Amino acid sequence: QVRLQESGPGLVRPSGTLSLKCSVSGDSVSNFYWSWLRQSAARGLEWIGRIDLSGETYYRPSLRSRATISVDTPENQFSLTLTSVSAADTAMYFCAGVDPSASDLLHFDFWGQGILVTVSS
Amino acid sequence: DIEMTQSPSSLSASVGDRVTITCRSSENIERYLNWYQQKPGKAPKILIHEASTLKPGVPGRISASGSGTEFTLSISGLQPEDYGTYFCQQSSVTPVTFGQGTKLDIK
């Protein structure tokens, strides 16, 4: 059974960079498609982007210029970097994944527990 | 972006009742529609994918249907553990988008 665990700072300064990691246990990070999502009262559940088996990435257009998702195979984890953050980026951030054998690769079978990130000075 | 609209936004029902939640998309998404249940302080858990296929371990009292722009999720024989917020999500195109959620309380 795949388990995911987010980690990173819970507080980021405005205009700074948000960096989160998602540790994968129970299987190899190389075997799945991975996404980052966030949830806030203002915007609900919001998909940030995805990295697939080849390393190709897809991002929400509104975040494309600020977001980067990457995989660290030796550490069996993947990460999210979001630059130039503002209060609008305050949210619960989730990592999630889907089995590449699924007919639909844009749903989310596995989720981390989430990590609350607050952007504030 | 495709807009997903759920109704009702909240409902309260008793153990044993049948409830239905509706999700409408602003564009035709064929059957690329998924349903999740989220309990307070937890991550969403997928219940249904491709409009009507139950994920393993999801109880058979949960069912879903629909295609195109209108979809429903039904829970019959409501149980205490069915509380939470239910979200629909379209996986037809990126960016994937979610409904605003339907909060289900058990009386």
Would you write out chain A's pLDDT as a tens digit for each of its 121 residues? 899 999 999 999 999 999 999 999 999 999 999 999 999 999 999 999 999 999 999 999 999 999 999 999 999 999 999 999 999 999 999 999 998 888 888 999 999 999 999 999 9
Which chain B residue shows the shortest CA-CA distance from A114?
Answer: B43
- Alpha-carbon dihedral of residues A84, A16, A112, A98, nearest 10 degrees? 30
Q: Are A117 and A10 in contact (CB under 8 A)?
A: yes
Polymer length of chain A: 121
Would you give the DSSP letter of residue B94? S
Cis bond upstream, residue B95 (ω within 30): yes
List of chain B residues whose C-beta atoms are within 8 Å of the C-beta of residue A102? 49
